[in-house]
Amino acid sequence: MPGTPRSRWLVIRVLALTNCYPPHHYGGYELTCRDVMDRFRAAGHQVAVLTSNVRVSGVEDVVEPNVHRSLSAYWDWEAGRMSLPRTPGARLQVERSNLAALDAALRDNRPDVVSVWHILGLSLSLLNAVEHAGIPIVFTVANDSLIAAPLVDGWLRLWRHWPLFRPRRAWGIPTAAPTLTNCRVNFVSEATKRANVSNSRWFRPVDAPVIPPGIDLSDFPLTPAAARPWRWRILYVGRIDPAKGVSTLVRAFAMLPGAARLELLGGGNADYRRHVMALAARLGVADRIRLDRVPRQQLRERYRDADVVVFPSEWQEPFGLVPLEAMACGIPVVATGVGGSAEFLEDRTNCLLFPAGHAEALAATLHSLARDAGLRAHLAAGGARTASELTIDRYADRLLNLHQLASKAQFGGAR
């Protein structure tokens, strides 16, 4: 059972708005959203979710009465690119359909606050409608939403090329992004906040707090490091994506002993997955690499079977939950420490760091870890301390407080 947030001083009704929601999801952000909403419910609050009709291939549907999968998105996650209806009329239909779904969700659930999560690819007119209804918004930013969301909104793109002739509304739909004047924003890391505030042309919430997320200790209970010989079992968990540094990991793996085995766990673009295995074949290591995908409930066993977890991201990672999951399982971590992950990854304290994109440095780091059992134990102990501090229960507790404050302000403290 999820932990129960401590803040009970105001019972609220929450509508979560996100572009993907488990079991149909592509990253940890959506899992975190579900974890937080589960904890809100466990604390006695009423929660509904409005999300897209995206379906991940090979993943079965789950019937959840309070999860409405009725929105259309302007993004194709499988292909990693925009998916735009060609004609203005078709995009208008998307907007009207999405707004009708929102209207039904607001009418049926009567939320005190709308909790916005992964908005990329969804119609920003949804937020316009929430603002127009006078409902406060709490926006949890764990990517470049404030930069990219207006750019991948198919409806807004129709009007970008005619700014001088753009009406405020067309066929009843706003042609500009919402102002979000009644919105409380929070960021998952200082790095994510800096990037969004510096580069957004939409809005810049300079005073927004940073609330770091965490892991579910029921799925990843703190476990002492296993006292066993090094076996060269290398594990990667996450999207199989160029920005995640998977190709760098494969090149480094080719520099390891023939006894080494690499497991890549995660979904991603099918073309890039084929590219990774083609690279492995050229390097002569494809027969020692396993590509797989498992639900989170099975990840603990995979972590515990590894000697090391590599987190080789080459983009500005918003945060990074995989290192924390490995740390909770008592497994040492080797990582690049880019973006928000640098705010909790400490070289030679809870991990070993290497330069992003540098396969030779990664291979050398793995060799040094293999030779030093004392270092592995030291990193595992440091990782356990970090994992114990960054938990989903603490995160949900702080976010619930933020949602309650937004709702209380809406009602002038009279509730």
| Residue ranges of domains in the chain | 13-214+392-410, 233-389
Omega of the bond prior to 295 within 30 degrees of 0, cis? no
User: In CATH terms, are 13-214+392-410 and 233-389 the same topology?
Assistant: yes
Inform me whether the pLDDT recorded for 290 exceeds 70: yes
Give the length of the chain: 415
E-assigned strand segments in 156-269: 169-170, 173-174, 183-187, 233-237, 261-265
Residue given tokens 């990840």 in the structure block = 299
Cα separation, 183 vs 130, whole angstroms: 10
- Name the pTM for this structure: 0.92
Q: What is the pLDDT of residue 46?
A: 97
pLDDT at 299 over 90: yes
Q: What is the pLDDT of residue 410?
A: 59
Q: Is the pLDDT confidence value at 361 over 80?
A: yes
The CATH class given to the 13-214+392-410 domain equals alpha beta
Distance CA(243)–CA(238), nearest Å, equals 11
Give the pLDDT of residue 34.
Answer: 96
| Other residues' Cβ atoms within 10 Å of the Cβ of residue 358 | 18
Q: What is the pLDDT of the chain when averaged over all its residues? A: 92
Backbone angles phi, psi at 338, to 5 degrees: -95, 155
Provide the 8-state DSSP code for 225.
P
pLDDT for res 3: 55
CATH class of the structural domain 233-389: alpha beta
Point out the least confidently predicted range of 81-95, 153-167, 221-235, 336-350: 153-167
Structural tokens at position 321: 């939950």
> Do the Cβ atoms of 263 and 307 come closer than 8 Å?
no
- The pLDDT-based confidence of 362 (bands split at 50, 70, 90) is very high
Long-range Cβ contact pairs of 205-211 (< 8 A, separation 24 or more):
205/146, 208/141, 208/184, 209/402, 210/186, 211/140, 211/186, 211/187, 211/395, 211/398, 211/399, 211/402
381: left (phi over 0), alpha (psi -120 to 50) or beta: alpha
Alpha-carbon distance 232 to 353, whole Å? Answer: 18
To which H or E segment does residue 37 belong?
Answer: helix 28-42
What's residue 295's pLDDT? 85
Say whether pLDDT at 4 is over 70: no
Retrieve residue 392's tokens: 């989903």
The DSSP bridge partners found for residue 289 are: 262
The confidence score (pLDDT) of residue 7 equals: 45
* Non-local CB neighbours of 7 within 8 Å, separated by 6+ positions: 43, 397, 400, 401, 404
Q: Which two tokens stand for residue 351?
A: 């991990």
pLDDT higher than threshold 70 for residue 414: no
Tell me, what DSSP letter sits at residue 165? G
**One-letter amino acid identity for 28?**
G
Longest distance between any two alpha carbons in the chain, whole Å: 70
Percent of the chain with pLDDT over 90: 81
Q: Is 145 helix (H, G, I), strand (E, B) or coil?
A: helix
Which residues does 20 contact at the CB level (< 8 Å), separation at least 6? 26, 30, 51, 52, 54, 77, 118
Asked whether the predicted pLDDT for residue 413 surpasses 50, the reply is no
Distance CA 188, CA 343 (A): 10
Query: Are 129 and 116 contacting, i.e. CB atoms less than 8 angstroms apart?
Result: no
Taking Cα atoms as reference points, which of 321, 316, 350 lies closest to residue 213? 321
On whether the CB atoms of residues 404 and 220 are closer than 8 A, the answer is no
Which residues lie across from 137 on neighbouring strands?
114, 183
Mean pLDDT value across residues 164-189: 91
Tens of pLDDT, residue by residue over 182-232, are: 899 999 999 999 999 999 999 999 999 999 999 999 999 999 988 899 999
